[in-house]
Amino acid sequence: MERTRLISELWNAMDRRQWEELAAYFCDDAVVFWPSTNERFTVPEFIEVNRAYPGTWTIQIERLQQVDDLVVSVVKVALAEGRTSFHAVSFFEFRGDKIGTLYEYWGEDGDPPQWRINRSIGTRIS
Amino acid sequence: MERTRLISELWNAMDRRQWEELAAYFCDDAVVFWPSTNERFTVPEFIEVNRAYPGTWTIQIERLQQVDDLVVSVVKVALAEGRTSFHAVSFFEFRGDKIGTLYEYWGEDGDPPQWRINRSIGTRIS
């Protein structure tokens, strides 16, 4: 199957909280890195950390692109509670048909900092 | 010039605060989006917002890859003051030899949230 299609399916499984489907997308010895918090996970740990993540959410894919053995995705994860949302940029490095390494960068969405609001540089888009 | 090389030079100019060099990398009507804060910038505004950014910093390129007309970079931006750092993932969409659109996702680095520290899922890498 096309790799971007696989990653689209993976995010769909995350959105539906179908944890039992996730392991099949990864090599058994795959490693997941969250550099923003200096965390590293095995596949069972990665599934556990997602399962344990507080609250409920919906996931929208905003970008999905392939370069050779790499698929890059951008998703917006909106928590059901309140107005909190995150963007995650993920680099899925494939070994054959499965993910061997995943680097995932998370950032919380929010208003610009006060110094930027004061200076009115740029345009707010929503 | 190779596009990844151009982007490497651009980050180098940002690192050295050589603002007058930046505009040459962009089409005149280029647009920059920071989706995490819903901000949009023209090229002069983008240069201004970087120039006005409080503090001083150093920039390290952690990933740099090209897909057709797109260059994706991951940089770590460490502020000189305190221990604050950010990761930025940037999608530079080229039109010919220059950047036509840039989508940039910012996230502040930090410790994992308390619920994850309490559960000890995964490994801290530093």
Inter-chain CB proximity B105 and A89 less than 8 Å = yes
CA distance A96 to chain B (A): 20
State percent of chain B over pLDDT 70.
99
pLDDT at B36 > cutoff 90: yes
| Mean pLDDT (whole number) for B101-123 | 93
Shortest CA gap B94–chain A (Å): 15
Which residue of A4, A19, A38 to mutate against B (max B Cβ within 10 Å)? A38
Contacts of B116 in chain A (CB under 8 A): 37, 39, 49, 52
B69 near A CB under 8 A: no
Please tell me if residue A74 touches chain B, with a CB cutoff of 8 Å.
yes
Does the structure show a pLDDT above 70 at B90? yes
Q: Which of B126, B124, B9 lies closest to B61 in space, CA to CA?
A: B9
Does the beta carbon of B70 lie under 8 angstroms from any beta carbon of chain A? yes
Query: Per-residue pLDDT for A113 more than 70?
Result: yes
Q: Is the pLDDT of residue B108 over 80?
A: yes
Q: Confidence band (pLDDT; 50, 70, 90) for A120?
A: confident
Average pLDDT estimate for A1-20:
94
DSSP codes of every residue in chain A: --HHHHHHHHHHHHHTT-HHHHGGGEEEEEEEEEGGGTEEE-HHHHHHHHHHSSS-EEEEEEEEEEETTEEEEEEEEEESSTT-EEEEEEEEEEETTEEEEEEEEEEE--PPPHHHHHHT-SEE--
User: B24 to chain A nearest CA, in Å?
Assistant: 19
Over residues B49-68, the pLDDT tens digits come to 999 998 899 999 999 999 89
User: Which pLDDT value is given to residue B119?
Assistant: 85
Q: Which ipTM was obtained for this model?
A: 0.94
Taking a C-beta distance cutoff of 8 angstroms, is the pair B79, B9 a contact? no
Taking the model in full, what pTM does it have? 0.95
> Could you tell me which residue, A29 or B115, shows the higher pLDDT?
A29
Kindly state the average pLDDT of the residues A79-100: 94
DSSP state of B111: P
pLDDT tier, A97 (very low <50, low <70, confident <90, very high otherwise): very high
Position B1 scores a pLDDT of: 62
Answer yes or no: is pLDDT of A110 > 70.
Answer: yes
Alpha-carbon gap: A39 to the closest alpha carbon of chain B (Å): 5
d(CA B126, CA B123): 9
* CA distance between the termini of chain B: 37
| Contact B36/A at CB under 8 A | yes
| Amino acid B104: pLDDT | 98
pLDDT band per the 50, 70, 90 thresholds, residue B9: very high
Share of chain A above pLDDT 70, in %: 99
Average pLDDT over residues A110-125: 90
Task: State the pLDDT confidence band at A62, using cuts at 50, 70 and 90.
Answer: very high
Q: Which residues pair with B45 in a beta bridge?
A: none
Closest alpha carbon within chain A to B121: A45
Q: Report the pLDDT value the prediction gives residue A82, as an integer from 0 to 100.
A: 77
More confident residue, B31 or B81: B31
User: Would you say residue A1 has pLDDT above 80?
Assistant: no
